[in-house]
Every structure is written in C-alpha cells, then in structure tokens.
Amino acid sequence: MIITSQGFGHFTQGLNNQDFGMEMKRMVIVLDGCSGAKCSEIGTRLFAQLFSRKEEAENVEKFEDNVKSVFDDLIEMMKKYYPTQEDLEQEFIMNNLLFTIIACFETETEFIVKMFGDGYIVTQNAYDCISYIKFSYGKYPPYFAYKYCNIENYKDYQFKTFTFDKKAFKKIAIASDGIMPIAKGEVNGLDNCIVDGNVVVVEMGIKNQRQSFYDDVTIATFGGKL
Amino acid sequence: MSIFNLRNRKDNGKEQKNQVEEKEISKSTVPSQVGQNSIGASSENLSSYETNPRGVNPKGVNPRGVNPKGVNPKGVTPKGVTPNRVNLNKVNQNAVDPNRVNPIGTNPMESISMGAYESKIPYVSDYAILPKNPIPKYKRLVEKKLTVILIENTDETVNIKDILVKIIKSTVSYGLICVIKYGNCIRQSNIMDVASFNDSSLLSGDNEQNTVCLYDALKALEDLVNKEYMVTHEKEFERERVNQIEVIGIGTCKDNCSVVSREVGIESFCNVAKKPNITTKYFCITEESFVNAAEIGFHSIGAISRNY
C-alpha cells in the first residue's frame, strides 16, 4: 500500500510531488526527492522503474548492490550528453539524482529496513503501541548520489539496517520526513490507520489538514485497505 | 411570650404589630444553618434568655434562632444578615440605637423596608468587614501538566549531562515535573513546580557497575501515573488536578537487572501510553537503541545527536 501526497509548500510554489513509492510482493520502497533539486521527481521515478526490473530486486541481501548498479547505469548512460565531469555533476546528478532511499523487506520472521538518508519508520509493537522513529540530518541529509560527486560530506556514509522481529512487532511502515505533523501529534487519529494501510482515511486526513503538511509525504506498508 | 415582645419592651404602642410579624416569620423558611434553633422558641429557652444578660442560651439553643457558630467573632454583623442572624454575644458597634433620632430627620429603623421584617431589623453597616485570610469554602479547580523524566543513571548519560539539561529545559517549560532515575536502583523525586527544579539533582553518577533496571522504572512510572493522573488534590486555597502527562525517556533503553520481567514492564508502559492526554518520547543516545525504544512503545523516538 502506497500513500503519497504533494506538500503544501510545493503546491504553492508550483513544484511537482518529488516523492515516489513502489510496492512489490516482499518489498516496499520510498524515495524522497530533494526539494532544492530542480527535477528530483524525474530521478525518483526513473530509478524506481529501473530498479524494479533488476533480477532479485526483492532480495534484501542484494539490495545495496542493486542500488549501486542502477546508479552506475544511469550515470553511464548520461555521460555522453555532458562533456565534462563537472557538467555531469552539476547539471545532471545534482538536479535529478538527489533523493533519499528507504526500503522495507518482509521475511517469515522479521521486517528489515534499509535507509540511506532521512525519513521515518513507523512501528506497531505487540501491545498495539505505535512508534515513530525519526532519522534526521538537518537541512543537508546524505544522498547516495554524493558518491558520484566531488563532495566530502557523507563520502563514507553507508546504508543503515534495522531488523524488527515479528514476535515483538506486529506491523512496520516506512515514510518520508513529510509525515512529521502526524509523528508530532498535530494530526490525531491516523496512527492506527497508517499501520493498517487504510488509504482512504489517511489520504482524507492529510488533505483535510493540507496546510500542516508543508513537505511531500509518502507512506508505504505491506497489505492495506483500499 | 415571643422574642419580639422581649425586644420591644422599650417600644410603646407597637406590641400588636409585632405579634402579627411573628407569625409571618415563623412561616418563612429558616436557613438550615440555624439548625435546631427555631424561631418559635420554647418557653424553656425563653426563660434562660431572660436570665442571661448576654442573651445567649447556656443550653446551646439560641431562642432567637441564631446559630452560635455563625456569629461574627469580631462582633461586626456582616451586611445582608437576616433578622435571625444577630450577634448576641457582642453589641454591633455600627448598629444604630433604635431609640436614637436620626439628625437628618428620618428614623433609620423605619426606612428599612423588608416586608414583614420592617422596622424591627437592627441597622447594619454599609461596609461588610471580612475576617483576614478567609479560607474559601468552594475552592477553584486548577488543572496542570505533569512532565515525568525517565532518565538512565549511567556513565553514558552522566558524560552528556549538559546536553540533557538543555534538552529538558527546552522541552519542559511549565507545569509540574518529576524525575525517575533508574540505574542499579530507582530514585523518584517529589512532584514539584518546574520553576523550582534543580538541574544538579538530575543525575548522580553513583552507578559504578552501570547496571540498568529499565523495566522496574516502567512499573514505577505506571504506579505514579495511577496515583496522579486525573486525581484531585486538596490544597489550602485551591484544588489541583493533573490532566496531562508527558513522559520523556533518556538513555539506551537497555535492561540487565530488573526484578520485573520484560513483558510486565512493557505492558505497564503501554497501559500508561494508551491513556488520553498522555504523550511519550524517548531520546536515544545513539541510533542503536531505536529498536529497543520502539519495542517498549514510546510514541516519538529520536537520537540526541540529531535535531529532534
């Protein structure tokens, strides 16, 4: 189940929803485009389409290699359109490929979340208590595309992996950082709907208080109601 | 012989009128505070009133129907008193002598018009004098927010005490505060106002073995919430009730020496977290503790090193 909504800030500025979410059988993925990049919505959608065509895309052990492979292919394809490396970095990579990557895999015994950048993990424990785990790096979060640029920040940054045992956690959802108003408690009554995947209620709740959601919000979980 | 006849001994030519008013008074409703003192006094009480020059029935039943407990100790009759509520112990210093002629020309006794009580009511002052520091009978209800700091007392938290104090000061700005320190034992502070909170007592640093009893602390938290949440406490001038609680946890969310089991500890916390108007947060020292905090069920989880 994927829920995505354009942020009020992007709506007023005439920008597209730069988030993108994709659901497969055993994997869901959320990509949050950088607001400062001109066309990060192009990068998120292009990356998701190419990634889904990778062999064993839903294999958690091969996930990081698959991500690197897609980025290598994209940059290799575009090199001939940009004469210098500097042009390639400034004109293509910085404008299109700056987005955070959050993926959640479901196995028989556990949920595995892999993150590169900021975002939220929403959990429901065995006693039905909902938790919002926040990953925040301030104004300049790490992006995987920085590995292909001449930038010192986050050069050695790697994917973070978190494992949630199904005995302790009933459900897991992943979300971009636009979900902050819900996590802070400014929008009530949506906690259980998010983990249950109740698309209609969550979308209505976001749209009813659209001005509270300044940034694009995308939520992904397994299953859900339509 | 009625009480009004006794009073009007000095009056001339008004006895008949007084007897008519007496009947009307007896039919009127008497405030319950008068108690057993009825207007229709018995002859027995009247006899003792006659002998007692102060006018107080030594047997305790006031023939005039005044509750002795309602007598103004300062001797000044408050404004608006009914004719039965006359201070018989002391003379009303501001009372007008019914026999004194008003120099202006009008008799103040006759000018008071209160229906059946006309002309027989002693004059009272226009200014009601209240006793000092009155204890209000009906105290107002004040609702307050309580912040409970659940802090791990180990070397890791002691080393970053300054950062923790800043976080607490920025997060807790008003209301009441209570600190539950957990390490090798649990120490719970008194509930105090935020203004009187002492930062130096936040961490003690005496947990040399760095043992942590988190689940015991969660059980203690549940006991505190059950004791304070939506419970009204009587204070001197007001009633106080905690209607909102915020639980802020700080540490690594680990446990290695609790008496209470993990399931009981987590269940205790979830019972607290599910109540309305109770919010929970956990500041993890590192991201490694995120999963532990989510297992327990804290609503908002973040790392201290990050903006939260």
* Residue A88 contacts residue A75 (beta carbons within 8 Å): yes
Residue B49 has pLDDT above 80, yes or no: no
Residue B69 has pLDDT above 90, yes or no: no
Name the pLDDT band for B11 (thresholds 50, 70, 90). very low
Residue B233 has pLDDT above 80, yes or no: yes
pLDDT at B171: 87
Give phi and psi for B151, each to the nearest 5: -120, 140
Residue B104 has pLDDT above 90, yes or no: no
Over residues A165-179, the pLDDT tens digits come to 999 999 999 999 999
* DSSP secondary structure, A32-86, as one string: EE-TTSTTHHHHHHHHHHHHHTSTTTT-GGGHHHHHHHHHHHHHHHHGGGSSSHH
Give the residue from B194, B210, B182, B184 showing the smallest Cα distance to B269: B182
Determine whether the interchain pair B298/A131 forms a contact, defined as Cβ–Cβ distance below 8 Å: yes
Determine whether the interchain pair A184/B299 forms a contact, defined as Cβ–Cβ distance below 8 Å: no
* Residue A117 contacts residue A175 (beta carbons within 8 Å): no
Give phi and psi for B40, each to the nearest 5: -75, 80
Domains for chain B: give ranges and CATH numbers: 1-134 (no CATH), 142-303 (3.40.50.410)
Mean pLDDT, residues B77-85 taken together: 50
Determine whether the interchain pair A132/B299 forms a contact, defined as Cβ–Cβ distance below 8 Å: yes
Name the pLDDT band for B74 (thresholds 50, 70, 90). low
Mean pLDDT, residues B207-212 taken together: 77
Residue B57 has pLDDT above 60, yes or no: no
Q: How far apart are CA B150 and CA A131, in angstroms?
A: 17
Over residues A104-162, the pLDDT tens digits come to 999 999 999 999 999 999 999 999 999 999 999 888 899 999 999 888 777 788 999 99
Give phi and psi for B96, each to the nearest 5: -90, 135
Contacts of A168 in chain B (CB under 8 A): 295
Over residues A86-101, the pLDDT tens digits come to 999 989 999 999 999 9
Q: How far apart are CA A107 and CA A175, in angstroms?
A: 20
Which residues have a Cβ under 8 Å from the Cβ of B44 and sit 6 or more positions away?
Answer: none
* A149 vs B118, more confident: A149
Domain topology for A2-221: Phosphatase 2c; domain 1 (3.60.40)
pLDDT at B135: 62
User: Which range, A150-164, B64-78, B251-265, is most confident?
Assistant: B251-265
Mutate to test the interface with B, among A133, A137, A167 (most CBs of B within 10 A): A133
Determine whether the interchain pair B290/A133 forms a contact, defined as Cβ–Cβ distance below 8 Å: yes
Determine whether the interchain pair A185/B296 forms a contact, defined as Cβ–Cβ distance below 8 Å: no
Percent of chain B with pLDDT over 90: 32
Contacts of B290 in chain A (CB under 8 A): 121, 133, 162
Contacts of A138 in chain B (CB under 8 A): 306-307
Question: E-assigned strands of chain A?
Answer: 2-5, 19-23, 27-33, 99-106, 110-116, 119-125, 130-135, 160-165, 169-175, 217-221
Specify which residues B152 forms β-bridges with.
B182
pLDDT mean across residues, chain B: 71
Contacts of A184 in chain B (CB under 8 A): 300
Over residues A4-44, the pLDDT tens digits come to 999 998 888 888 889 999 999 899 999 999 988 889 999 99
Contacts of B287 in chain A (CB under 8 A): 135, 160
pTM of the model: 0.73
Q: CB contact, 8 Å: A169 with chain B?
A: yes
List b or e across B245-271, with b for residues whose CB sees 16 or more CB atoms inside 10 angstroms: bbbbbbbbbebeebebeeebbbbbbbb
Residue B16 has pLDDT above 50, yes or no: no
pLDDT at A170: 93
